[in-house]
Amino acid sequence: MYLFNKYIKYNLEGENVEIIISNNANKPIYEQITSQIKAMIMSGELQPGESIPSMRALAKSIHVSVITVQKAYEDLQRDGFIDTTVGRGSFVAAQNKELYQEEQQRIAEEHLQAAAEIGRTSNIPLERLTKILALFYEDAE
């Protein structure tokens, strides 16, 4: 089996917006698209009101199914990152950064809950788990 990464730059209104699709990633392709567009919105690379590629155009440029891009756009719209209007296209929504932070905190809490369960069942002291978390957190800075 041959695994590879596709590195695609999609030109958006004169700006190069990079969408990176990895076929050997642990995430489905639609989630890779969703997370990258969310990150571009949160960083300010994509501004509120700015149009994003049509589903067909993006699917064609990164060589994936329109259904894959549609799933990503549905998730982005559900989470309040984009607004889609039939006949007009999709645009970056006026975004509440607190909503995104809340979503990320929920994901972190799920991982921490799993770590706590492993710690409890393996008799790993809470202090040790706390130190490990602090090391990971500080190491990323």
* Residues 49/93, Cβ–Cβ less than 8 Å: no
Greater pLDDT, 19 or 9: 19
Rounded to whole angstroms, how far apart are CA atoms 72 and 35?
Answer: 9
Owner of token pair 């706390």: 130
Burial of 33 per CB tally in 10 Å (0-12, 13-18, 19+): buried
pTM of structure: 0.64
Our measurement of the distance from residue 6's CA atom to the centroid of its chain's CA atoms, rounded to an integer in Å, reads: 17
Domain layout of the chain by residue ranges: 5-92, 97-139
Query: Which fold is adopted by the domain 5-92?
Result: Arc Repressor Mutant, subunit A (1.10.10)
pLDDT tens figures, 33-83 = 999 998 888 878 888 888 898 899 899 888 899 999 999 999 999 988 999
The 3-state DSSP class for residue 28 equals coil
